[in-house]
């Protein structure tokens, strides 16, 4: 059985290994407000046809009137489909019968015979539990229902407000072929929505926790960027390209390899963004469109900065993707980035800064995995990446990156402040270059109206403390 | 649904009243109706294939050469009209199905179409029903009685009763080798089940009342 039932969302289908399995039984769990009913209705309108309609059965948790009233605010809700390819029915009457579950089962079977649906939703399924005289009676009902839904070719979604503890013990989870969890978790002072596939019988799926948002268009999932090691080979460009500053190119042994990644670390105000801007605008000059993916300066602030150095954001080959780190999902950001890269034919990216991205990640391991996956994708696509990283120490930097990203980067450049008599000096050091040599000396640089101007190495008696 | 390859060459030969050898010759010579092959090399015809072969067979019976009949088919393709269904006469179908839920659905849909259904939930009951009720068609779940379905297929087919084999697992080749005329994988679409039954019984209007396209 390889046919899949689409949610209408390419990314959610990707999380599910292509979609729900056709003719399978699936449980959608989550607390009130997590979007279960929206998700179920998304499947309904995406898949219902006059030949194979969808039947939506409400129980006693939420009145059918309410489901419909709020349902019609969704963009995919088609009022003309009701009664032709989508049928909403209320099981409340059956549940008020003394043999509530037997009546309910009979009603469901009758619905399968009469409507011949391709998709069947029961919302809320959990609300059926109290109608069983005991656990055995509920299991018997469950067996009969599952037996009918296995014999008849329909995909079903059982929606319920199950908590994590119930998933381990409620018998419907043993019967189900697929289990999707929608959760709302606190993250600092905000709520983060997390979708997780807990079970998908006979199919692979993207494991782990995936962020999602709800809107009038339904559920938008951001699959966790976590690519496995790709053993495939890809073509490398044979010529090195300028990093944007001639003296830096010299220190890097004739520039950078295209498609490589570079980490620029340094304290606040040391010139990290500026060196990245050199990289972007030089790239544009040599036919490599750039993307400034900023989380700090908004476009207005950025325009003023770049104008100060004689550049402009008005050009077609430099694009800006500014996102506030407030209420941001890590993976939502990366999909926007990858889409922009594809849409504009981007060859150079400046990520400013890694620290802001890190703040939206749940933990350090996840963040490393994320950056690794991103850099693998850009390397395969031949897209170069500059990443800025703030270090805590203003003088005498002893620790480079809190996140271990320097190991993942092809090149590492350190910017430092040095005390020198009555003024501050700036210093640049190439700490690491992968697949090439480099100048190991500590070079002085200044920021002028032309940007960064690299000078000579420091004298041996210069203090770094 | 009509494009699902379901029927064996033997079943098609009976349906269009042309020997299997002639069907193979037409396929090799004209290459117009080319059934798909199963992994085991069996020819598998869809309803569309059967409809097209029926058209050719009717033209040949009218005295047109097979070559010209195939050329007419190519010109008429996509324009072969279907007539209204036959009202049908009393027809008994043996439904040998181990799963009571599946049996209930299949029985309901077949009865809705006017067929009489004799239900057997194990192979022994099925053999008894063949003798007692003399069905015109047997529908056999291959997993009945712990996997006795193939043997039951051979037995029933040897008594001259066409068999529609069913299974939840992909065992089409084994079913056809055991003499089944057609195979459907479960769960069954009601329309697909009824269509296959009608085709095998020869009560399908599209097999008997096709009006040649002009």
ipTM score for this prediction: 0.70
Highest mean pLDDT among A112-126, A181-195, A216-230, B27-41: A112-126
Of A24-38, A59-73, B19-33, which range is least confident? A59-73
pLDDT: is B19 or B1 the higher one? B19
Angle at A381 between CA A390 and CA A220, to 5 degrees: 75
E strand or H helix at A28, and its extent? strand A25-30
Residue B207 binned pLDDT confidence (cut-offs 50, 70, 90): very low
Phi/psi for A350 (5° steps) reads -110, 120
Chain A residues within an 8 Å CB radius of B143 = none
Residue A458 pLDDT exceeds 80: no
> What mean pLDDT, rounded, does chain A reach?
89
Q: Is B168 exposed, middle or buried (0-12, 13-18, 19+ CB in 10 A)?
A: middle
Residue A115 pLDDT exceeds 50: yes
How big is chain B, counted in residues? 214
Asked if A153's CB is within 8 angstroms of B187's CB, the reply is yes
Q: Is B131 exposed, middle or buried (0-12, 13-18, 19+ CB in 10 A)?
A: exposed
Of A108-117, B91-100, B116-125, B204-213, which range is least confident? B204-213
Q: Is B113 exposed, middle or buried (0-12, 13-18, 19+ CB in 10 A)?
A: middle
Residue B184 binned pLDDT confidence (cut-offs 50, 70, 90): very high
**Beta-carbon pairs below 8 A across chains A and B:** 31
Q: Is B99 at the interface with chain A, CB within 8 A?
A: yes
pLDDT tens per residue across span B162-181: 999 999 888 899 999 999 99
pLDDT: is A404 or A54 the higher one? A54
**Beta sheet of B137-141, edge-to-edge order:** B116-120, B92-96, B137-141, B163-167, B182-185
Q: What's the gap in Å between the CA of A243 and the closest CA on chain B?
A: 58
Helix (H, G, I), strand (E, B) or coil at A17: coil
- Which stretches of B46-188 are assigned E, i.e. beta strand? 92-96, 116-120, 137-141, 163-167, 182-185
Average pLDDT over every residue of A292-317: 92
Q: Is A435 at the interface with chain B, CB within 8 A?
A: no
Of A18-22, A256-260, B198-202, which range is least confident? B198-202
pLDDT tens per residue across span A92-110: 889 988 899 999 999 999 9
Residue A253 binned pLDDT confidence (cut-offs 50, 70, 90): confident
Residue B89: what pLDDT?
65
Chain A residues within an 8 Å CB radius of B189 = 153
In the block, tokens 């339904």 appear at A218
Residue B210 pLDDT exceeds 50: no
Residue B209: what pLDDT?
37
Q: What's the gap in Å between the CA of A39 and the closest CA on chain B?
A: 25
HSE-CB at A273 with a 13 A cutoff on CA atoms is 16
Please name the residue of chain A whose CA is at the shortest distance from the CA of residue B108: A113
> What mean pLDDT, rounded, does chain B reach?
85
Asked if A147's CB is within 8 angstroms of B100's CB, the reply is yes
Q: Is B189 at the interface with chain A, CB within 8 A?
A: yes
CA dihedral A304, A309, A314, A319 (to 10 degrees): -90
Which of B201, B149, B183, B199 is CA-nearest to residue B40? Answer: B183
Asked if A23's CB is within 8 angstroms of B187's CB, the reply is yes
CB A11 within 8 A of CB A20: no
Q: What is the DSSP string of B65-79?
A: -HHHHHHHHHHHTT-
Q: Is B111 at the interface with chain A, CB within 8 A?
A: no
Chain A residues within an 8 Å CB radius of B101 = 144, 147-148, 150-152
Asked if B101's CB is within 8 angstroms of A144's CB, the reply is yes
E strand or H helix at A215, and its extent? strand A210-215
Q: What is the DSSP string of B101-121?
A: HHHHHHHHHHHHTT-EEEEES
Q: Is B121 at the interface with chain A, CB within 8 A?
A: no
Helix (H, G, I), strand (E, B) or coil at B43: strand
Residue A254: what pLDDT?
83
Residue B5: what pLDDT?
64
> What would the two tokens of residue A141 be?
């009902």
E strand or H helix at A342, and its extent? helix A330-344
Asked if B102's CB is within 8 angstroms of A113's CB, the reply is no
Residue A364 pLDDT exceeds 90: no
Residue A456 pLDDT exceeds 80: no
pLDDT: is A437 or A23 the higher one? A23
Residue B79 binned pLDDT confidence (cut-offs 50, 70, 90): low
Q: What's the gap in Å between the CA of A151 and the closest CA on chain B?
A: 4
Share of chain A above pLDDT 90, in %: 59
Distance CA A358, CA A239 (A): 33
Which of A380, A434, A409 is CA-nearest to residue A232? Answer: A380
Chain B residues within an 8 Å CB radius of A109 = 104
Q: Is A112 at the interface with chain B, CB within 8 A?
A: yes
Residue B1: what pLDDT?
45
pLDDT tens per residue across span A433-450: 887 778 888 888 888 888
Residue A229: what pLDDT?
66
């Amino acid at each position: 059985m390889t046919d899949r039932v689409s949610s209408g969302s390419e990314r959610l289908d990707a999380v599910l290994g292509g979609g729900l399995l056709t003719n399978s039984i699936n449980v959608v769990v989550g607390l009130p407000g997590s979007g279960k009913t929206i998700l179920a209705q998304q499947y309904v309108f995406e898949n219902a046809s006059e030949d194979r309609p969808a039947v939506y059965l409400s129980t006693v948790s939420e009145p059918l009137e309410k489901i419909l009233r709020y349902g019609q605010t969704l963009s995919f809700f088609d009022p003309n489909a009701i009664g032709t390819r989508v049928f909403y029915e209320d099981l409340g009457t059956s549940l008020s019968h003394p043999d509530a579950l037997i009546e309910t089962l009979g009603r469901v079977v009758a619905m399968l015979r009469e409507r011949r649906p391709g998709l069947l939703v029961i919302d809320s399924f959990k609300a059926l539990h109290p109608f069983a005289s005991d656990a055995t009676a509920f299991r018997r009902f469950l067996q009969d229902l599952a037996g009918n839904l296995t014999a008849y070719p329909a995909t079903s979604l059982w929606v319920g407000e199950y908590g994590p503890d119930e998933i381990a013990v409620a018998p419907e989870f043993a019967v189900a072929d697929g289990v999707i969890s929608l959760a709302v978790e606190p993250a600092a002072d905000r709520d983060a929505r997390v979708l997780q596939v807990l079970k998908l019988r006979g199919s692979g799926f993207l494991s782990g926790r995936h962020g999602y948002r709800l809107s009038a268009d339904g559920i938008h999932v951001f699959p966790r960027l976590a690519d496995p090691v790709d053993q495939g080979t890809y073509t490398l460009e044979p010529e090195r390209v300028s990093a944007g500053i001639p003296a830096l190119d010299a220190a890097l042994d004739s520039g950078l390899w295209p498609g490589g990644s570079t980490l620029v670390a340094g304290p606040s105000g040391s010139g990290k963004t500026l060196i990245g801007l050199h990289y972007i605008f030089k790239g544009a000059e040599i036919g490599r469109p750039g993307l400034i993916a900023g989380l700090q300066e908004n476009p207005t602030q950025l325009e003023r900065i770049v104008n100060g150095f004689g550049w402009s954001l008005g050009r077609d080959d430099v694009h800006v993707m500014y996102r506030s780190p407030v209420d941001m999902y890590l993976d939502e950001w990366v999909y926007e980035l990858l889409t922009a890269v594809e849409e504009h034919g981007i060859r150079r990216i400046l990520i400013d800064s890694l620290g802001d991205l890190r703040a939206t990640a749940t933990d350090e391991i996840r963040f490393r995995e994320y950056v690794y996956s991103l850099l693998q994708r850009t390397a395969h696509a031949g897209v170069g990446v500059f990443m800025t990283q703030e270090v805590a120490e203003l003088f005498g930097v002893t620790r480079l990156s809190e996140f271990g990203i320097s190991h993942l980067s092809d090149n590492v450049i350190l910017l430092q402040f040095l005390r020198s008599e009555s003024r501050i000096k700036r210093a640049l050091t190439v700490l690491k270059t992968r697949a090439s040599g480099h100048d190991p000396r500590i070079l002085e640089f200044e920021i002028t109206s032309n940007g960064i101007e690299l000078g000579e190495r420091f004298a041996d008696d210069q203090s770094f403390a | 649904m009509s494009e699902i390859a379901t029927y064996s060459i033997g079943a098609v030969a009976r349906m269009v009243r042309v020997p299997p050898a002639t069907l193979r010759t037409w396929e090799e010579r004209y290459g117009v109706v080319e059934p798909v092959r199963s992994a085991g090399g069996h020819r598998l015809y869809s309803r569309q294939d059967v409809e097209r072969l029926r058209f050719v067979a009717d033209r040949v019976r009218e005295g047109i050469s097979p070559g010209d009949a195939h050329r007419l088919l190519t010109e008429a393709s996509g324009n072969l009209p279907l007539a209204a269904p036959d009202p049908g006469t009393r027809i008994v179908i043996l439904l040998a199905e181990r799963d009571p839920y599946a049996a209930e659905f299949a029985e309901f849909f077949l009865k809705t179409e006017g067929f009489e259904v004799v239900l057997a939930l194990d192979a022994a009951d099925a053999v008894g029903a063949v003798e007692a009720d003399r069905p015109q068609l047997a529908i056999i779940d291959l997993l009945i009685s712990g996997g006795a379905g193939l043997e039951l297929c051979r037995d029933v087919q040897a008594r001259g009763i066409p068999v529609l084999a069913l299974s939840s697992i992909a065992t089409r080749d084994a079913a056809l080798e055991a003499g089944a005329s057609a195979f459907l994988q479960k769960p069954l679409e009601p329309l697909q089940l009824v269509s296959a039954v009608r085709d095998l019984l020869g009560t399908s209007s599209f097999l008997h009342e096709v009006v040649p396209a002009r």
